[in-house]
Amino acid sequence: MSTTGNTTRRIPLIPLIRPVIDDTVKQRVLEVLDSGYLTEGAVTRDFEENVRRFVGAGHAMAVPSCTVGLEIALRAFGVGPGHEVIVPDYTYPATASVVNIVGALPVVVDVDPETMLVDYDALERAITPHTRAILPVSLFGNPLDYERLDDIRTRYGVYVIEDAACALGAAHAGTRAGAACDAAVFSFHPRKFITTGEGGMVTTNSAEHAAWMDAYKHFGLTASTPREAATFTTIGTNAKLSDILAAVGLAQMERIDELLARRLALAARYTELLDGMPGVTMPRTTPGGTHSYQTYCIHIDRRDHIMAALRAQGVEAQIGTYALHRQPAFANPATCRLSGPMPGSRQAADHCLALPLYHHMTDDDQRHVVRTLAEAMRTA
């Protein structure tokens, strides 16, 4: 327990996530602070290059958040007023909000209730002559079917911009998230196993679009020239990521194989412990895919009741994410079009439960979570 003023706050015994902030991370941040160069610079460049190499993309641009990155990517591919962008219903609201921000219309389609990823058949049915792009989400680290998306892209002449917020390390048919679509955007929020506190990264294989995005995020500056000779050839904004934040992510990226392997081992241990538990259903990984388990989810009945019971015992469980069609922000048909009923999304929104998963979680921690879950389900 901790006390601030007159407020007493319960500290979870087992948190949902705990970032890996070791002495190396702290030292890297101190080095930046001591350098006196605190804005975006060489450390951010190194961070971008580490992510680019790991993902296998041609280019990577660091941004202040995944949301900003999605906005910039949409602008780079010419998405704006008069266009439609197809998004899944079961996702964090930012996925659809950025479409409105650039002046386009989000068209919301259902998800597969087993994978919780976009329903590809529903996606195809929603395509119109106004569709400029599709914005699928590799939710919780479950990879998209990139071969199916590439087929859709080719047949309909649309762009595919992947909301890969949770998918660093995920792959499908040997291709990692971030390297398969026209562009992809990752998040480095503290819920992610590689974090910068706040931050994101846009990846693409298009040199032309990468150059546009890099200029746009630097006020429209299109050449690395001395300040006196700077040339601003387009309208831009300030979407830089400071060296301070990049230092945190860079130190973690240098350990990403280790951090990812540990995460996969913890996920496998959960699957083993939960195997055969009555009332628990596991979401399905995309066939041919490698899940990165940014979030370890299960499907259960009476999810909210069980989640409250877990929290009462110090286990910080959480819902998966949101069904957009239930949110007031997307209720106006003039600014958002719902394409068909959303049974898959409702199923996911009502039954998906995220369990704690973090690098230093022990076997005893995981057994405690599973025991607490079993008890909560017996008394639900």
Query: What mean pLDDT comes out for the span 351-355?
Result: 98
Q: Which helix (H) or strand (E) holds 216?
A: helix 207-216
pLDDT > 70? residue 228: no
Q: What count of residues does the chain have?
A: 380
Longest dimension (CA), the chain: 71
pLDDT > 50? residue 109: yes
Confidence of residue 6 (pLDDT cuts 50, 70, 90): low
Pick from 17, 14, 5: which is nearest to 192 by CA?
A: 17
d(CA 148, CA 182): 14
Confidence of residue 11 (pLDDT cuts 50, 70, 90): low
d(CA 361, CA 51): 25
d(CA 221, CA 325): 39
Query: What mean pLDDT comes out for the span 336-352?
Result: 97
Query: What mean pLDDT comes out for the span 343-362?
Result: 98
The pLDDT > 90 percentage for the chain reads 92
- Write down the pLDDT at residue 334: 95
d(CA 133, CA 292): 25
Query: What mean pLDDT comes out for the span 187-203?
Result: 97
- Write down the pLDDT at residue 3: 43
Q: Helix or strand or coil: residue 195?
A: coil
Query: What mean pLDDT comes out for the span 170-184?
Result: 97
Query: What mean pLDDT comes out for the span 96-100?
Result: 98
Contact, 319 vs 354, CB < 8 A?
Answer: yes
Strand partners, 161: 183
Pairing of strands 7-9, 131-134: unpaired
Contact, 241 vs 64, CB < 8 A?
Answer: yes
Q: Per-residue pLDDT tens for 28-38?
A: 999 999 999 99
pLDDT > 70? residue 2: no
Domains along the chain? 1-380 (3.40.640.10)
Confidence of residue 230 (pLDDT cuts 50, 70, 90): confident
Query: What mean pLDDT comes out for the span 189-218?
Result: 97
pLDDT > 90? residue 10: no
Query: What mean pLDDT comes out for the span 92-109?
Result: 98
- Write down the pLDDT at residue 225: 57
Burial class (CB within 10 angstroms; exposed 0-12, middle 13-18, buried 19+) of 198: middle
Q: How far is CA 22 from the centre of its chain?
A: 23
Q: At what angle do helices 256-274 and 363-379 cross, to 10 degrees?
A: 40
Query: What mean pLDDT comes out for the span 171-188?
Result: 98
Q: Per-residue pLDDT tens for 128-139?
A: 999 999 999 999
Mean pLDDT over all residues of the chain?
95
**Cα dihedral sign for 181, 66, 352, 140?**
positive
